[in-house]
Every structure is written in structure tokens, then in C-alpha cells.
Structure 1
């Protein structure tokens, strides 16, 4: 669905000299608005309102020029100002419709729905307003569902984080126990490989005795004469 904008640029009509001036300013603003020169149109509408602050058309059209410049809060205020200067239900319906559009652009769905309902109170047969009301209701529903999903996702993430935090100390403890066991095994292996001082002393003495016997044997062999065989 796409929002349907209903902008009624109201041309002022008057018959006397002073009103002619404000009418010309308003209508010049309308021409600039149609040419998409919204900032210039804004200036003309404001000048027209300086001459007649109670001109409904000036406030309404000024709101339209603000809207086209994405200045939605200012647009809403101008539309509300225009309501003070008309008793015509058709005009009031158009004002509420455009207020609804400005609120919808700001994603203020609940408030825009209220504005569209006010517009339909003044003109129950306005199809454009009915369409936009349906659009706003649908967008509000989607937004609520999205917020609900985001909330659930945040809960799941928090649970996962808590679970990770709980598991981390246990894993660290397991690693520490594993390291401790490895150290103990290494120490035991080293102890197996090590010999006591007494054993070392006995081995040294045995080696020394063996070496003495060996030296004696070597000396005996070395001192024995070697016969030389000759052929005569």
C-alpha cells in the first residue's frame, strides 16, 4: 500500500482592493507551488497572511508548502491554525486528512489514525481518507509486530549471554584441572626417571670398582711380553 496525498491548493477569491492584494499573493504562491518551488511559495503565503492573518486559504496552503519541504511539525501547526477560520465541513475534512498525512510521514501511526478518523467524521464518503486510514492501521500493526519480535530477540540474546557466562567458569575450571593433572603426571614421570642419592652413590662406587678392576686387567695385559714369530 502507498500513502495517497490529498493536497488542495485553495485559490482565494475576493472582490475589493485590499482583498485583491492578499488574493494575488496567495495565488502567486499557488503558481509557485505547482511549479514545485515550495520555498518560494511559502514566502508568498506568509506575505498573504501578513495582510490577513485570518485567511483560511493562506494557513492551509502554507501547511502544504511546509509538507513538501518535509517540515511536518510546521505543516501540522499551519493546518491546525487554518481550522480556526472555517466552519465548512469539507474544508475541515481536508485539513484533518493532511494532518494525518504529516503524522504518517513521521511514523506516528496512532496519531495519524486519529486524524483520519476526524476527517471521516466531517466527510464519511472520502475514499482517499479511508484508504490512508487503512494504510496507517496496517503500518501500526506491522510496527507493533516488529517491536514484539525485537523484544523477543533481545530476550533470546540475553539468555544466550547468561548461558555463555555460566559455561565459561566451568570450562575454565575444567581446563585448570586438566593442566593440573598434566603437571602431576609430568612430576610423577620425572620422579620415576630420578634416582635417590643412595642409589646414585652405589652406582658410582660400583662403576669405580669396575673401573679399578678394569685398570688392573689392562695393566696386566700391557705388561705381558708378546712373542714374535720368525721364519728362519
Structure 2
């Protein structure tokens, strides 16, 4: 009896699984129709309803990611793509190619050209005849080359600016050192000048004193000469008196 109940339970389980999968497909198809009409918000709801029933459904996950891309939520979409890429080896070739292609487009939008190249190559391994993917690969390779060239030029500019700054700093340091040396030399010369000043002052005082003494002696001689002249005149006056009228 227990074995019969178990079988019945399995039958019910399979029945529910088949019904659930059918509902998932219906929701996914409904989402696809809304997606084609560019009603992305409504399409997203349908895909999420399908994933509530079967979170691992590849179609619902892939189309949900595409819807997120159209509504500018690339980060969320990329997470879904990357999860699907983990199982890329067991996916049908066309589905795997589409997932890798879309992941490459997201990488291109973020200017992660190296990642985009990797994804496009992965897509072409599954579908080598896809001309759009091949074109995107060539474009990503060209953009990566340009990006690397720009980075090299920017790095060279930064290096040149850094070297110029170092030269300017060194020149400024040399000027400061030169000024400091000049100040030190001036400080060394200052005591010598201070020692010379009293000597010069003393010399000037002696010179002035000699000049003053000579001038005094000369005045003294002149005074004595005048006194002698006055004495001689007085003596002459005594000998010859003036006439009376």
C-alpha cells in the first residue's frame, strides 16, 4: 500500500511539473510578445512570474536579461548572462552563442573591450557564421588598440609632467640652497666689518685731532705775530707824537 501511494505521489508530482512547465512557457511567450511591442516593464513582469515557478528556466532568464538591457539595467542583466555562461557547455549552440554575444555587447558599452573580445570569440566558437558577432569582434579589437594607445600616451604625459615637476623642485631647492649659502657668507663677513669699524673710527679721530692741533698752533702763531706787531707800533708811537693844529 505504501508503495502504491508512493507511485501515486510521483505521478502527481510529474503532473504538477508538466503543468508548471507549460505555465512557464505561456508566461515566457507572453513576455516575448510584450517585448516585441517594446512594453519592457510588462514583459519583465511576465518573465519574473515564469522564474518564480522555475528559477532555472533558460528562456525566461535570457529574455529577462535582454529586457533589463533595454531598460538600461546592464549590471543586473550581466549577472544573469554570467550565470548562464557558467553552463555554456551544456547549452544548445545557438543559445550559448546568443548569451555570449549579448554579454559582449554589455562589455562594449562599459568600454571593457578585452572582455567584449573574449565574449565575441566565445560566441563565434558556437556559431562561426554570425557576421554581426564577427563585426563586433573586429570593432572591439580596434577600440582596444586605440584605448591602449591612449593609455600609453597618457602615461607618457604623466611621466613627462612628473619629471618636469621634479626638475622644477630641484631647481627651486638649488635656489634656496644658494640663498642660504649667501646668507651664511654675509653672516661670516658681518663680524669682520664690525671689527673694522672701530679701527676706522679711531683712525678718523686721530686725523681730526692732528688737524685741530695744527690749526690751533697756527692760530697761536698768528696771534703771537699780531701781538709783536702791536708792540712795535706802540714803541714807534712814543717816539713820534702827532702834530697840533
- SS of the residue corresponding to residue 167 of structure 2 reads helix
Measure the CA separation in 2 of the matches of 1:53 and 1:199. 112
> Is the Cα contact below 8 Å between 1:59 and 1:81 reproduced in 2?
no
Mapping of residues 6-85 of structure 1, within 5 Å? 18=20, 21-34=23-36, 36-82=38-84, 84=87
> Is the Cα contact below 8 Å between 1:57 and 1:82 reproduced in 2?
no
Pairwise CA distance, 1:29:
2.9
RMSD: 4.0
- The reply on whether 1:172 has 2:179 as its aligned counterpart is no
Residues 163-216 of structure 1 deviation map (CA, whole Å, 9 limit, x = unaligned)? 23332332223334556778869x97xx79x942242254267458859959x9
5+ residue gaps, structure 2: 1-17, 227-245
Match of 1:203 among 199, 208, 231: 208
Measure the CA separation in 2 of the matches of 1:134 and 1:35. 32
Measure the CA separation in 2 of the matches of 1:172 and 1:52. 76
Pairwise CA distance, 1:121:
1.6
Measure the CA separation in 2 of the matches of 1:98 and 1:65. 12
Q: Structure 2 length normalisation: TM-score?
A: 0.63
> How many residue pairs were aligned?
202
Higher RCO (CA < 8 A, seq sep 6+): 1
- SS of the residue corresponding to residue 53 of structure 1 reads coil
Partner of 2:161: 157
Partner of 2:113: 109
Higher helix residue share: 2
5+ residue gaps, structure 1: 1-15, 221-232
Give the 3 Å change call, closer, same or farther, for CA 201–38 of structure 1 in structure 2: farther
Pairwise CA distance, 1:58:
0.5
